[in-house]
């Protein structure tokens, strides 16, 4: 198989992937960096076209320089595209340094004897460094899923192949002139390795983009667009996982349900824009308080849920009471000076055999008790069973009328 035939295959492959990444970029806004990757593979086609043109040149230097810089531009676009996809800034300083070094050494490269080891090394070195930075960007992203690791490995392999080309050229020999490159064994080996890495890198990149696009669509379907926290579906998915993990590890978990009091009056008095701002700020306050060990969800309207890991009923009560008091000491903005909103809270602790539905039902029932008791208060769903903890019994004895109320059930964590 001649190098010209392999080069033609590479041009066809480049066209396919340029179109593929271009379509992905045009049709999927979540596919970050796809446009740069499309440009990179399109520039690869320019590189191939110039390779075909080289054999007809009386003076090969201008076209050879074009080939050299076109492929460097292609690898640059791919590096930028990968960085953007992984939500990182491209390594601009490194890219600039590579380009400056390449331009400075260009006159040296193309005055050295064709096929010499030094010329081949200087020619391939910028490509190797650029490809190394592709792997470095993926490593810096801290993504460690199988496809990310595979892409990192392929990028490292591609960088290594560029560095090995001088040794291959020395071992098998190369053409006497640039115009004879296509007829050399070295060209066939070089283009074959390029074809394999070209296909492998592009396919894995497409798979990574498909995976991440699917994950982002799933996240969007589980996220409340106004508040930015999880929606009810998101709570069902992530809450069930969190509950199962807590039960498996024998750790405590508490669900707090919160409802902004008289929120319809807020919308009627101040308008829906102000009401939306209150929702956004309340969600932000819940998220800040929950931290990394908790998840926050908007269940609908003005009702929210907070699931706290490693938290018992006593800690859940303190969490809810601190939030309740903060609404008075640090009022939510959006309603004007002196205007405040209050909230009611229901708190329930997970039992060892709870489902998320059962835990949610108890917490929601406790919330209803808080609202029925006058609102602006915290209500706990308690149980009286042999396994009741001393902390739970202490909470019951320490009830604070007017702010925290308690409900006991003689059933095993049944609805209050």
Binned at pLDDT 50, 70 and 90, residue 407 comes out as: very low
Alpha-carbon span 394 to 386, nearest angstrom: 15
Q: In the predicted model, is pLDDT for residue 337 greater than 90? A: no
pLDDT of the residue at 54:
85
Tokens (6 digits) for 102: 């390449």
What is the CB neighbour count within 10 angstroms for residue 401? Answer: 7
Binned at pLDDT 50, 70 and 90, residue 139 comes out as: very high
Alpha-carbon span 223 to 102, nearest angstrom: 47
Give me Rg for the CA atoms of the chain: 32
Q: What is the mean pLDDT of the chain?
A: 87
pLDDT of the residue at 383:
59
pLDDT (average), residues 371-392 = 67
pLDDT digits (tens, 9 = 90+) for 204-230: 999 999 999 888 888 888 899 999 999
User: Is the torsion defined by CA of 195, 198, 203, 204 positive or negative?
Assistant: positive
Largest Cα–Cα distance of the chain, in whole Å? 98
pLDDT of the residue at 1:
52
Nearest residue to 251 via CA among 351, 112, 339, 335: 351
Alpha-carbon span 258 to 240, nearest angstrom: 19
SS3 content of the chain, % helix, strand, coil (to 5): 65, 10, 25
pLDDT digits (tens, 9 = 90+) for 153-168: 999 999 999 999 999 9
pLDDT digits (tens, 9 = 90+) for 46-97: 988 898 888 888 899 999 999 999 999 999 999 999 999 999 999 999 999 9
22 or 404, which is more confident? 22
Q: What is the DSSP letter of 178?
A: G
**33-42, 81-90, 177-186, 293-302: lowest mean pLDDT where?**
177-186
Taking phi first (over 0 means left), then psi (-120 to 50 degrees means alpha), and beta for anything else, what does residue 287 get?
alpha
3-state secondary structure of 175: coil
Alpha-carbon span 231 to 220, nearest angstrom: 10
**1-5, 118-122, 375-379: lowest mean pLDDT where?**
1-5
What domains can be seen in the chain, in order of their start residue? 3-221 (1.20.1070), 232-407 (3.30.70.270)
Tokens (6 digits) for 387: 């396994």
pLDDT of the residue at 183:
79
Of residues 302, 303, 358, 405, which has the active-site annotation?
302
Instruction: State the pTM of this model.
Output: 0.70
**305-309, 312-316, 379-383: lowest mean pLDDT where?**
379-383
Tokens (6 digits) for 112: 């050295």
Q: In the predicted model, is pLDDT for residue 104 greater than 60? A: yes
| Whether the Cβ atoms of residue 324 and residue 377 lie closer than 8 Å to each other | yes
> 302 catalytic, yes or no?
yes
User: In sequence order, which ranges of 55-176 are alpha helices (DSSP H)?
Assistant: 61-85, 92-109, 117-141, 146-172
* Residues sharing a CB contact under 8 Å with residue 141, sequence separation 6 or more, in sequence order: 86, 87, 88, 148
User: In sequence order, which ranges of 250-409 are alpha helices (DSSP H)?
Assistant: 263-270, 272-290, 313-329, 356-372, 390-397
Alpha-carbon span 161 to 168, nearest angstrom: 10
Binned at pLDDT 50, 70 and 90, residue 107 comes out as: very high
């Amino acid at each position: 198989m001649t190098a010209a035939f392999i080069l033609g295959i590479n041009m066809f492959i480049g066209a396919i992937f340029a179109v593929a990444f271009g379509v992905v970029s045009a049709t999927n806004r979540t596919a970050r960096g796809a446009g740069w990757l499309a440009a990179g593979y399109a520039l690869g086609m320019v590189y191939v076209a110039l390779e075909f043109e080289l054999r007809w040149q009386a003076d090969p230097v201008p076209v050879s320089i074009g080939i050299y810089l076109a492929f460097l531009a292609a690898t640059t676009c791919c590096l930028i595209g990968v960085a953007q996809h992984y939500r990182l800034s491209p390594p601009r300083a490194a890219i600039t340094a590579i380009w400056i070094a390449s331009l400075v050494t260009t006159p040296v490269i193309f005055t050295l004897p064709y096929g010499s080891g030094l010329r081949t090394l200087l020619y391939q070195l910028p490509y190797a460094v650029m490809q190394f930075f592709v792997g470095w960007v993926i490593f810096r992203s801290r993504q460690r899923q199988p496809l990310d690791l595979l892409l990192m490995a392929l990028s490292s392999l591609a960088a290594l192949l560029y560095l090995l080309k001088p040794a291959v050229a020395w071992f098998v020999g190369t053409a006497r002139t640039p115009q004879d490159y296509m007829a050399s064994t070295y060209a066939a080996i070089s283009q074959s390795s390029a074809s394999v890495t070209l296909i492998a890198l592009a396919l894995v990149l497409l798979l990574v983009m498909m995976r991440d696009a699917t994950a982002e669509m799933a996240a969007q379907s589980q996220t409340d667009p106004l508040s930015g926290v999880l929606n009810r579906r998101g709570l069902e998915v992530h809450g069930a996982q969190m509950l199962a993990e807590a039960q498996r590890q024998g750790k405590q978990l508490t669900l707090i349900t919160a409802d902004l009091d008289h929120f319809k009056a807020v919308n009627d008095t101040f308008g829906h824009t102000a009401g939306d701002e209150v929702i956004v700020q309340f969600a932000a306050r819940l998220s800040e308080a929950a931290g990394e060990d908790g998840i926050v969800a908007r269940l609908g309207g003005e009702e929210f849920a907070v699931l706290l890991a490693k938290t018992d009923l006593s800690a859940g009560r303190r969490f809810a009471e601190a939030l309740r008091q903060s609404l008075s000491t640090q009022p939510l903005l959006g309603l004007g000076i002196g205007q405040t909103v209050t909230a009611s809270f229901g708190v329930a602790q997970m039992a060892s055999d709870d489902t998320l539905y059962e835990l949610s039902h108890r917490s929601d029932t406790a919330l209803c008790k808080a609202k029925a008791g006058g609102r602006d208060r915290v209500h706990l769903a308690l149980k009286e069973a042999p396994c009741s903890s001393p902390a739970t019994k202490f909470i019951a004895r320490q009830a604070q009328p007017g702010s925290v109320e308690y409900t006991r059930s003689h059933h095993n964590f049944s609805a209050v």
